[in-house]
Amino acid sequence: MSSRFGMRSFTMLASAAVIGAVTLGTGATAHADDFSEKKPLLKGSTTASYYWDDASGRNGDTGLPASGKPMQKGLAASPSWPLLTEGYVIYKGKKEPFFVGDRGPGVPSNRGIMLDLDAKTFASLTGGKFNSSSLTVDGVGGQGHIKIDYVITKWGPGVGKKNHPVAFSTGAWSRKDANPAKPPVVTAEKKIEKKEEDKPAAPAQVAEKAPEKAREEKAPQAELAAAVTNRETESNGVGGLALVSGLAFLGGGLFLARGRIRKAFER
């Protein structure tokens, strides 16, 4: 759990005039249930801590969050993003939504801890349990920081840096950002798969299919040629037999005729 160093109390006063009428309904979060389906405006990674300020003064509690709304699950503190910015974090495959309702962490942000999650969200991500008495997370071995990926789906309307977070000490949280980060390009996986299917076959694949196709085309021709050859053979066999029979008949006739001619001359 990050130390606030009195930073939140100071920020509440500085932010009051800025946020004005921009508020959330009591107990309602600023994110929708389908948070992971929204178009991302910014993606990145950072180290996240956790806290729980319910204005009870326990465990270093410095008062209500800078937005003036009660502490709740999904409320996070950022050192530079505009208040009411929405998004979600990912830790070991688990996703949890958040909205920026507070400022911080203070000094820890100088060391790269750029997001302060509420204790209940931290417990949900890590498999721990929120302790309402100590305002800490039990069952995580005292772990207070985790490496997370973040996705911003909506920028808040007020002051603050609309880009990758920077330390609280830079003062970016108090300045209007007129040049937000360009949304990352998202390519639909289904379209990529479809294009892969529509691609023409590679030369090697065509070469492999060519002999097979040739064999398929030659098969009917070979069968036809064999049938013609068989018919010719059968036809030649019958013709040859007829020719032999004819010659034999002719030879027999000539033999008989020769005998008759000889007798005629002897007379």
User: Would you mind telling me the total number of residues written for the chain in this entry?
Assistant: 267
Provide the terminal-to-terminal Cα distance of the chain, rounded to the nearest Å.
Answer: 151
Q: How far apart are the C-alpha atoms of 94 and 267, rounded to whole Å?
A: 132
Kindly state the tokens that stand for 119.
């204790």
Residues paired with residue 117 on neighbouring β-strands, in sequence order: 50
Residues ≥6 apart with Cβ < 8 Å to 147: 45, 46, 47, 48, 91
Look at residue 213 in the predicted model and tell me its pLDDT.
55
Could you please report the per-residue DSSP string of 208-263? Answer: HHHHHHHHHHHHHHHHHHHHHHHHHHHHHHHHHHHHHHHHHHHHHHHHHHHHHHHH
Q: Mind listing the pLDDT tens digit for each residue in 170-223? A: 999 999 999 999 999 866 554 555 555 555 655 555 455 555 555 555 555 555
Collect contacts of 240-248 with beta carbons under 8 A, ≥24 apart. none
Look at residue 78 in the predicted model and tell me its pLDDT.
98
The pLDDT confidence band at residue 6, using thresholds 50, 70 and 90, is very low
In this prediction, what percent of the chain has a pLDDT beyond 90? 49
Q: How far apart are the C-alpha atoms of 150 and 156, rounded to whole Å?
A: 16
The pTM assigned to this predicted structure is: 0.62
Q: Mind listing the pLDDT tens digit for each residue in 85-118? A: 999 999 999 999 999 999 999 999 999 999 999 9
Q: Mind listing the pLDDT tens digit for each residue in 17-44? A: 334 433 444 444 444 456 778 899 999 9
Q: Is-contact 196 56, C-beta < 8 A?
A: no
Look at residue 164 in the predicted model and tell me its pLDDT.
98
The neighbour count for residue 24, using CB atoms within 10 Å, is 18
Judged against a pLDDT cut of 50, whether residue 255 lies above it is answered with no
Q: Mind listing the pLDDT tens digit for each residue in 53-92? A: 988 878 777 778 998 889 999 999 999 999 999 999 999 9
